[in-house]
């Protein structure tokens, strides 16, 4: 974590320039999309905490649709490594092994990313209840999560930079934020 990375953190009110994402199995995605977007930055492809988290969003896809928000998940792993874990998700996932988008959004790393009791519990639940492998995926195990709610015009409406691997917006929080920003 450097001051340089911290200085590039996005804040509510910042505006994204238009760009296109290449997704794992949903084709190209234009950002901003003309609707509300929840961009979530996860860790490595086999991360059990991440897999458990994303499966909750997959189960909540009807609730997300009712709140008129689309979720997109980023991983700092290759498409090949991600495919066994995330190709079946009902929303776009973006391989980013070079961490290009992580850098653009100011998403950080920490050697202590996995050193929190909530992470341990989530990892155990993820290894049992979601496709995962804690040893599979490029980019190391030190990635931190981040969440962004992006408006139809590219404005950052809300943001959360996680302090540990399980510090992220839950489905209910994303839905509440989407409803509050309609």
Angle at 173 between CA 71 and CA 175, to 5 degrees: 55
Domain residue limits, the chain: 3-180
For residue 36, the number of C-alpha atoms closer than 13 Å in the C-beta half-sphere is 20
1 — pLDDT class (breaks 50, 70, 90) = very low
Query: What is the dihedral sign for C-alpha 27, 32, 36, 42?
Result: positive
Taking the C-alpha atoms of residue 61 and residue 158, their distance in angstroms, rounded to an integer, is: 20
Any idea which architecture 3-180 has in CATH?
3-Layer(aba) Sandwich (3.40)
Predicted model pTM: 0.85
Non-local CB neighbours of 80 within 8 Å, separated by 6+ positions: none
Question: Which tens digit of pLDDT belongs to each residue from 42-94?
Answer: 987 888 878 888 989 999 999 999 999 999 999 999 999 989 888 899 999 99
- Give me the pLDDT at residue 89, please: 92
- Give me the pLDDT at residue 159, please: 98
The residue-averaged pLDDT of 118-127 equals 53
More confidently predicted of 120 and 14: 14
- Give me the pLDDT at residue 32, please: 92
Q: How far is CA 96 from CA 63, 140, 157, in A?
A: 27, 13, 23
């Amino acid at each position: 974590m450097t001051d340089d990375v911290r200085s590039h953190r996005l804040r509510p009110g910042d505006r994204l320039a238009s760009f296109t994402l290449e997704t794992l199995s949903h084709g190209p995605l234009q950002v901003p999309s003309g609707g509300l977007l929840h961009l979530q930055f996860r860790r490595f492809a086999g991360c059990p905490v991440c897999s458990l988290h994303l499966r909750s969003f997959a189960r909540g896809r009807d609730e997300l649709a009712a709140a008129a928000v689309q979720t997109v998940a980023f991983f700092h792993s290759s498409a090949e490594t991600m495919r066994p874990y995330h190709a079946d998700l009902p929303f776009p996932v973006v391989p980013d092994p070079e961490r290009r988008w992580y850098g653009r959004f100011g998403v950080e790393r920490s050697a202590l990313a996995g050193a929190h009791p909530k992470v341990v519990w989530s990892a155990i639940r993820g290894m049992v209840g979601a496709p995962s492998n804690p040893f599979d995926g490029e980019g190391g195990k030190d990635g931190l999560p981040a969440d962004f709610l992006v408006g139809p015009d590219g404005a950052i409406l809300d943001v959360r930079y996680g302090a540990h691997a399980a510090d992220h917006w839950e489905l209910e929080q994303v839905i509440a934020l989407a409803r509050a920003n309609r």
